[in-house]
Structure 1
Amino acid sequence: MLFTDLGLSEPILRAIAEEGYTSPTPIQAKSIPAVLQGGDLLAAAQTGTGKTAGFTLPILQRLSSTKASTGKRLLRVLILTPTRELAAQVQESVVTYGKYTGLKSTVIFGGVGANPQIKAIAGGLDILVATPGRLLDLMSQKCVSLSHIEILVLDEADRMLDMGFLRDIKKILAALPKQRQNLLFSATFSTEIKALADSLLNSPALIEVARSNSANEAIAQLIHPVDRTKKHPLLAHLIQTNNWKQVLVFTRTKHGANKLVTQLEKDGITSMAIHGNKSQTARTKALADFKAGKLTALVATDIAARGIDIDQLPHVVNYDLPNVSEDYVHRIGRTGRAGSNGVAVSLVCVDEHQMLRDIEKVIKQKIPQEVIAGFEPDPHAVAQPIQLRSQQHQQSRKPKAAGNSGGAGRAPAKRSSPPKRSFNR
């Protein structure tokens, strides 16, 4: 199947062709016709399958082929995302593929000044990409009206629920017209997502392009058993002996990310951290430098890494296993994208053996293990307690100040050589 078979207009097809693409990914091939039909949609797709374009392309088509009822430029589409990084990625997709349509869009999120965002909204928009906190903040100031919204998108809805945004989402939904098209995209169909879908969607089309919580087959997974005190030396050893040039490393905590960066820098490995306590400037610089190849290691927490979109990222390392088993799939999904292969390595100490069993139960497979010479784990080591999932879950449900939606706000850098047949945005 080609993009030319999907009913997209010449201006949109021209923009797609300029990016070097001709064929849609499976989620795009299924979701584009469904969105164009105008009905509600519930779609599940793994990270890196191209779901962003799965809704931005048909939305651009629908808006460019129909005018607002008043003839004026009115805000007709609202796209909600959980983090700044993802919001910036979605906005980049809208701008890239809508550049010949004449449609206007902007992105708003917390952590930066609101005045430029308010000015952009006041100038007239067709599409608004937003994180829930900043949107509610501007709504309370009467700076944005949602009274003419025709299409609502909840992107990575599972992550929004994990981050405690359900109350914010309900406030936003209350301000929308009752007659609208609703598109809900999620990595998994959890019980919570199904409940949200039941309350939000009207006889939706259902799309699922991969088995829930399954790992991308293009990703080679490997466990290195190691003592907790030897994780940093082992990571440095792997990077240096294998001559890894670009590694995304996940830690469980912000403090752990900062500490690891300090240790890696002492080893001569260029690295920076990206997490919620970092300033907007620091996060933007870290992500830009990593994409440009100026950093060997980008050390991230789960929420900060959501929305990082880097084609052909070769290596992901779980320095700490995630508290929530499903997050393992999201983490390793940063690699093995756009038709390329990737490697996901996890450094597992005795404290994390139960976490590993839980992860293998979720992905329905045993992950191969390899002990690295010189880093053999102590067979008599005793496990120490790690923060439980329930504790993390309670913390994620704590109320958030308006505008503090997490994530950084820089659109991903353009890749130098896009694939020619399909794309994963």
Structure 2
Amino acid sequence: MKFNDINLNEKIIEVIHEQGFDELTTIQEKCIPEILNGYNVVGQAETGSGKTLAFCLPILDKIIPGNGVQAVVVTPTRELCVQVKDEFSTFGKKRKIEAMSVYGGVKIDQQIKNLRTADVVVATPGRMLDHIRRRTIDFRNVVFLVLDELDKMFEMGFVDDVEDIIYEIPRERQILMFSATITNDVNGLINKHAKNPLIIRTKSFVDPGKLKQVFYDIHERNDKFSILLHLLKANRGGLSIIFCATRAEADVLEKNLRQQNVKVSAIHGGMKQNRRMRSLTALKEQKTEVLVATDVAARGLDIKNVNAIYNYDVPQTSKDYTHRIGRTARAGEEGIAITLLTKRDHDNFRRVQGADEHEIEEKEIPDFRRVPFKRGFEKKNNWKKPNKYRRKKPLNDRDPGQKDDRKKKYYHQKRPYNKGRKKPVQR
């Protein structure tokens, strides 16, 4: 089905064509007409399937510019929050719809100011609750509530925050929920808050025939980085994503790759917001070849042209492994998923291999050149004491010809006891 065949506002259709879109994806084709008809919708779809536009376009079609906050979208991560907000801004620009993102890690004052003119608010749960407690957001005109990546919000422990937000939204609203998997917890929330929802499921967006899965069994843990670097240089073309288990490991790996002249960016939940935004901008402008990420930070991000996935640390569950490798081999393109095994990874890898859908082939370790891998990096500290705080050298250590602009008396020299004092009266 083509976008011209659905009943959307002409100005939105114009922007869709300007962005180079013509045909709907499966999730868009099934969801958009139902949302336009006013149904509560639950969509099960993977990242990259086009689910953001599946709820973004009908919302942009139905809300009225300048009528206050009419749509609230809740996302689990800041990166996804910014990405969804950008979609609303891009496709709603000709209708002059104002969208804003609300997340932690930045000053709240500017957000409070922008909320006065916003039509669509995309938020993370914590900062949204902050605005609710401050009473800086008005929900009286809200007609749409979207919960994106709902299963991930359960994993991250946001379910109570999400329910608190739901209770603040007017009852007469349309609720849309999207999740990669519909677990028992997700199902319970659907039954509790969505009245007669339409549950729409789509098949995997990844072509299994185009995805090659391999692993390397590395005996020496110290060789892991050297082998990774060798494989990165051998498989150039497109973008590579390297998944790490912890934020600290992601930071250390990024610094070591940068020292080997690799164009690399990192993204994880512990980064300051300005650094996260630099990484996202580099991705969008294709200025980076390698992205080092944790599972949580990368979840929901729509990253295009991914050529290879590297599991530097093996995920703990088969589901996490599926989410990782599902970022490549999309839309008919070929991709490869490479897992690097050391002794401590075998337990997790057995769980991944236990799932029937994963056929992972073992490869021989190629000839590679060993390179150093540093764990500790010294922080640059260029701060020096200002001149007025520096202690000057004693006169004896100075050059004889150097002009002395100081007083002869030093602050540390003791004054004679009786100087300037009256002698005690003797009686």
TM-score for the superposition, normalised by structure 2: 0.81
CA distance in 2: counterparts of 1:363 and 1:156, whole angstroms: 25
CA distance in 1: counterparts of 2:98 and 2:277, whole angstroms: 24
CA distance in 2: counterparts of 1:156 and 1:100, whole angstroms: 28
CA distance in 1: counterparts of 2:89 and 2:159, whole angstroms: 28
Task: From the superposition, tell whether residues 49 and 179 of structure 1 become closer, same or farther in structure 2 (CA, over 3 Å).
Answer: same
CA distance in 2: counterparts of 1:165 and 1:242, whole angstroms: 38
> Structure 2: which amino acid aligns with 1:334?
R
Report the Cα offset of residue 361 of structure 1: 4.0
> Which of residues 82, 86, 96 is equivalent to 1:92?
86
Secondary structure at the aligned position of 2:242 is classed as strand
Aligned twin of 2:406 = none
Confirm or deny: 8 A CA contact 2:239 2:290 kept in the other structure: yes
Confirm or deny: 8 A CA contact 1:81 1:129 kept in the other structure: yes
* 1:265-414 → structure 2 map (5 Å cutoff): 265-362=258-355, 364-374=357-367
Q: Is 340-349 or 158-167 further displaced after alignment?
A: 340-349
* 1:53-68 → structure 2 map (5 Å cutoff): 53-64=53-64
> Structure 2: which amino acid aligns with 1:76?
Q
Q: Give CA deviations for 1:87-117 in whole Å, capped at 9, x if unaligned.
A: 1111111111112223222111111111121
Secondary structure at the aligned position of 2:93 is classed as coil
CA distance in 1: counterparts of 2:271 and 2:88, whole angstroms: 27
* 1:22-421 → structure 2 map (5 Å cutoff): 22-64=22-64, 73-122=67-116, 124-210=117-203, 216-217=207-208, 218-227=210-219, 228-244=221-237, 246-362=239-355, 364-374=357-367
Displaced runs of 4 or more, over 4 A: none
Confirm or deny: 8 A CA contact 2:47 2:301 kept in the other structure: no
Confirm or deny: 8 A CA contact 1:326 1:362 kept in the other structure: no
CA distance in 2: counterparts of 1:143 and 1:250, whole angstroms: 38
CA distance in 2: counterparts of 1:159 and 1:306, whole angstroms: 8
Q: Give CA deviations for 1:369-421 in whole Å, capped at 9, x if unaligned.
A: 2122348xxxxxxxxxxxxxxxxxxxxxxxxxxxxxxxxxxxxxxxxxxxxxx
CA distance in 1: counterparts of 2:194 and 2:188, whole angstroms: 10
> Structure 2: which amino acid aligns with 1:46?
E
> Structure 2: which amino acid aligns with 1:192?
D
Aligned twin of 1:419 = none
Structure with bigger RCO (C-alpha 8 Å, 6+ apart): 1
Number of residue equivalences: 366
Aligned twin of 2:405 = none
Q: Give CA deviations for 1:271-302 in whole Å, capped at 9, x if unaligned.
A: 23222222112122223224434333221111
Confirm or deny: 8 A CA contact 1:247 1:316 kept in the other structure: yes
Task: From the superposition, tell whether residues 244 and 264 of structure 1 become closer, same or farther in structure 2 (CA, over 3 Å).
Answer: farther
Task: From the superposition, tell whether residues 27 and 360 of structure 1 become closer, same or farther in structure 2 (CA, over 3 Å).
Answer: farther
Secondary structure at the aligned position of 2:118 is classed as coil
Confirm or deny: 8 A CA contact 2:42 2:178 kept in the other structure: yes
Gaps of 5+ in 1: 376-425
Aligned twin of 2:18 = 18
CA distance in 2: counterparts of 1:362 and 1:263, whole angstroms: 33
In angstroms, what is the RMSD of aligned CA positions? Answer: 2.0
Aligned twin of 1:408 = none
Report the Cα offset of residue 184 of structure 1: 0.6
Q: Give CA deviations for 1:23-81 in whole Å, capped at 9, x if unaligned.
A: 000000001011111111111011110000011011111225xx8xxxx6121111100
TM-score for the superposition, normalised by structure 1: 0.81
Q: Which has the larger radius of gyration?
A: 2
Secondary structure at the aligned position of 1:169 is classed as helix
Gaps of 5+ in 2: 369-427
Percent identity of equivalent pairs: 36
